[in-house]
Amino acid sequence: MELQALKAALQKPVNRRQTDLANALAFRQNRERLFPKAFANERMLEMNEGLAEYTGASLGRSDLRPHLYAQSDTAANRKSLIRSFAYLTGPIYGLLLQEKARHWTQQIDSNADFPDLISRYYQVKASNAPDESIYNGTVIRSSEQHKETIRLETVAAYTETFTQRPVLRITLVKMSVIFNPNTLFDLGTYGTIYPTGEVKDNWGHLKVNKGGMLLKDWHIVSVPVSGQLDLAARSLEGDGWVLDLADGWHLVKNDDLHYMLSSN
């Protein structure tokens, strides 16, 4: 609904955007009350990825406005917004600010925040009781409730896979990671599921094509193990993943549920 309110604001002349922007800020504040710990990272991602996406889109597209309208409507159908939301919010907030204050980008630093900038330049505050109906609120809530049912089923399946079944758990040393930011899945305190991706590190190269890998605090990556792994192998293969070990590293089995890598 925040995105729909921002879209509605962008469709209006600059001097008629206050109501929609006040509602967008209110929807955002409601999310922040529910998930207060997430918003420091949200702000940083928007200032990093979102601002860069706005710059690229504004310089590289002649159809920026209809593009942003279409992009805002795709949010409900995306598999994940965990790291990809800023590619939506950054450009639309950026264009709203650009049309109000042409040189706004010259007044920001690493502590900048899109809602604060909107409040400052448009002289608007979050509304007390935003009208959800004008942003298709009933349909959005119904869709989100359905997705929540599916999410909880997925949480249960991933939790069983990575906590109750055998896994290979690898400590990250000096890694580089390639992944699709549109598909990530939050597994709470266990970490984040990357359905596909690659990790290169001192210990070798891990490539996951399906089934997912679990990253915990960018410190440990885990992949599911079915059957027995060959402790002497230099190339290991699981259901959906392949690991090529670097020289000096080998596989160790800790217990019935955990394998690990060692350089000893």
Between the CA of residue 106 and those of 52, 98, 101, 180, 196, what are the distances in Å? Answer: 14, 11, 10, 31, 38
The pLDDT of residue 63 is: 85
- Across the chain, mean pLDDT equals 94
The pLDDT of residue 244 is: 98
Per residue in 222-256, pLDDT (tens digit) is: 999 998 999 999 999 999 999 999 999 999 999 98
* Percentages (nearest 5) of helix, strand, coil residues in the chain: 50, 20, 30
Per residue in 77-116, pLDDT (tens digit) is: 888 888 889 999 999 999 999 999 999 999 898 899 999 9
The pLDDT of residue 91 is: 96
Give counts: helices (H), strands (E), the chain.
8, 12
The pLDDT of residue 189 is: 94
Q: Where are the domains of the chain?
A: 2-135, 157-262
Element spanning 244, H or E: strand 241-245
The pLDDT of residue 134 is: 94
The pLDDT of residue 242 is: 97
Between the CA of residue 20 and those of 31, 115, 143, 175, what are the distances in Å? Answer: 17, 13, 22, 43
Per residue in 136-150, pLDDT (tens digit) is: 999 999 999 999 999
Confidence of residue 39 (pLDDT cuts 50, 70, 90): confident
